[in-house]
Amino acid sequence: MDLNFTTAEEEFRLKIRRFLEENLPKSGLGAGREGREDKAWLEKSKAWQRKLYESGYVALAWPKEYGGQALDPVCQTIVNDEMVRANAPYLPGGSGLGMLGPTLISWGTEEQKRRYLPKILTGEEIWCQGYSEPGSGSDLASLRTRAEIIGDEFVVNGQKVWTSGAQHADMMFCLVRTDPDAPKHRGISYILIDMHSPGITVRPLVQMTGDKGFNEVFFDNVHVPRKNLVGKLNEGWIVANATLFHERNMLGSATGSEQRFNRLLALTKKIKRGGRALTEDAVFRQRLADLEIRVEAMRFHSLRQLTDQIRGRNPGVETMINKLVGTELNHDLATAAMEAMGDYSMLAREDASVLDHGYWPYEWMFSLGLVIGGGTSHIQKNIIAERGLKMPKSR
């Protein structure tokens, strides 16, 4: 065990830190999760991703032949840490970078990798995920969007729902049913759909926050070339699970929690309770310390997993818990902030008197959305118990 970074790594850290100081977009792009539905945000943040990529700070561990740098995952961790530290804006290409990219690297054809990966890196093509359907949430494998093979095309009909960022997306990685007669997990294929194809309608859904973050996507005879199949026909479920694995780790990422804890702490130092700062309140101190302990545990937990990854160890139960623990921790952090604010927690984020720039009311709700999305906590616990602890299946 050695938590020291090499001199080269420390130099790299200083380099990205300096880069961020000098190049961080000055305004219009918050680090928060809100406001990501509008077009202006998209254009500005695409420009930001391109700049970041051109400077060598995007997906550093990806293979060189597809635009990556084949660096050690430690470098990527350093970049992530520094981005969070600098309050850098979210990248618009997140779904491509965090979910589809790693999936394609494992499962894509050479042609697919060459065609798609570079544009994920530059942010030139924005991706969205076509998984959930109105009747298929926790039971994802029951999905019914059909793709019939006609000639060398899939013809897709059906509907997806909860599609984050579909309004901005150029492409979708999508699960479709290609064999309706097979058992439900065996008739699914994983295909890549051009979102500009005729027959696609995107209709925004409004979140409880009042924002339009996700969408319904309708497919009416949408033609997709057969070469857009990832993995084998009818064997998309295994590819889908690779993507889910990456999604869940992304959602449960510890990187943001530390920043949120610091923000919570700064907030509570400013709030008065009974004439003293809330941080001097013995009861709230317990809560803060407990949250910080859990945040720190998750920080070390990701370093441990990073080390396992470098050592080539297959992820086990310690990785399956990330999504459950990480998203619940973030919701607990936001709930604590709401309670800390007292009556001020009743203000909407648009109010002029709202504390901490209205960060928390949105975060409080959105973090609960993430406890639900990508497999609710109930589903995560099933997975942990059945796959991680080998407890008997019940379904």
Partner 1 sequence: MDFGLSEEQRQLKASAREFLSAECAPSAVRKAMAAQEGRLAEVDREIAKLGWTGLIVPEKFGGAGLGILDVAVLLEEQGYAAMPGPFLFSSVLAAYAVARGGSDETGDKLLRPLAEGKAIGTIALAESGDSLAPRDFSTTAIADGTGARISGVKEFVPYASLADFMVVAARGDSGSADLFAVDSSAKGVRVEMLKNLDLTRRVGRVTFDQAAAIPLRREPALYPRLLDIGAVAIASDSLGGVERALDMAVDYSKVREQFGKPIGSFQALKHVAAEIVSEVEPARSLLWYAAYAQDARLADAPRFASMAKARLCDVYSRGTDRAVLMHGGIGFTWEHDIHLWFKRARFNESYFGSPALHRERVAQLGGY
| Residue closer to a second copy, measured from CB, 6 or 286 | 286
Residues forming contacts to a second copy in the complex (CB under 8 A) are 281-283, 286
The minimum distance between CB 285 and a second copy, in angstroms, equals: 8
Q: What is the Cα 241 distance to its own chain's centre? A: 15
The minimum distance between CB 186 and partner 1, in angstroms, equals: 16
Q: Are 364 and 335 in contact (CB under 8 A)?
A: yes
- φ and ψ at residue 91, rounded to 5 degrees: -90, 140
Partner whose binding site includes residue 258, from partner 1, a second copy, none (CB under 5 to 8 Å by kind): none
| Residue closer to partner 1, measured from CB, 151 or 274 | 274
C-alpha closest to that of 132 among 205, 186, 181, 199: 205
The minimum distance between CB 395 and a second copy, in angstroms, equals: 11
| Residue closer to a second copy, measured from CB, 289 or 310 | 289
> Helix, strand, or coil here: 230?
strand
Distance separating alpha carbons of residues 239 and 245, to the nearest angstrom: 10
Rounded alpha-carbon distances, angstroms, from residue 218 to 126, 134, 171, 202: 18, 11, 14, 6
Partner whose binding site includes residue 110, from partner 1, a second copy, none (CB under 5 to 8 Å by kind): none
Partner whose binding site includes residue 111, from a second copy, partner 1, none (CB under 5 to 8 Å by kind): none
**Active-site residue flag, 111:** no
Distance separating alpha carbons of residues 379 and 224, to the nearest angstrom: 32
- The catalytic residue among 247, 280, 339, 350 is 247
The minimum distance between CB 117 and partner 1, in angstroms, equals: 26
> Helix, strand, or coil here: 376?
coil
C-alpha closest to that of 159 among 181, 178, 140, 135: 135
Partner whose binding site includes residue 105, from partner 1, a second copy, none (CB under 5 to 8 Å by kind): none
Partner whose binding site includes residue 296, from a second copy, partner 1, none (CB under 5 to 8 Å by kind): partner 1
| Residue closer to partner 1, measured from CB, 65 or 290 | 290
List Cβ neighbours of 368 (8 Å cut-off, separation of 6 or more). Answer: 331
| Residue closer to a second copy, measured from CB, 138 or 286 | 286
| Residue closer to partner 1, measured from CB, 150 or 289 | 289
The minimum distance between CB 394 and a second copy, in angstroms, equals: 9
Burial string for 329-365 (b: 16+ CB within 10 Å, else e) reads bbbbbbbbbbebbeebbeeebeeeebbbebbbbbbbb
Partner whose binding site includes residue 150, from a second copy, partner 1, none (CB under 5 to 8 Å by kind): none
The minimum distance between CB 283 and a second copy, in angstroms, equals: 5
Q: Are 79 and 53 in contact (CB under 8 A)?
A: no
Positions marked active-site: 247
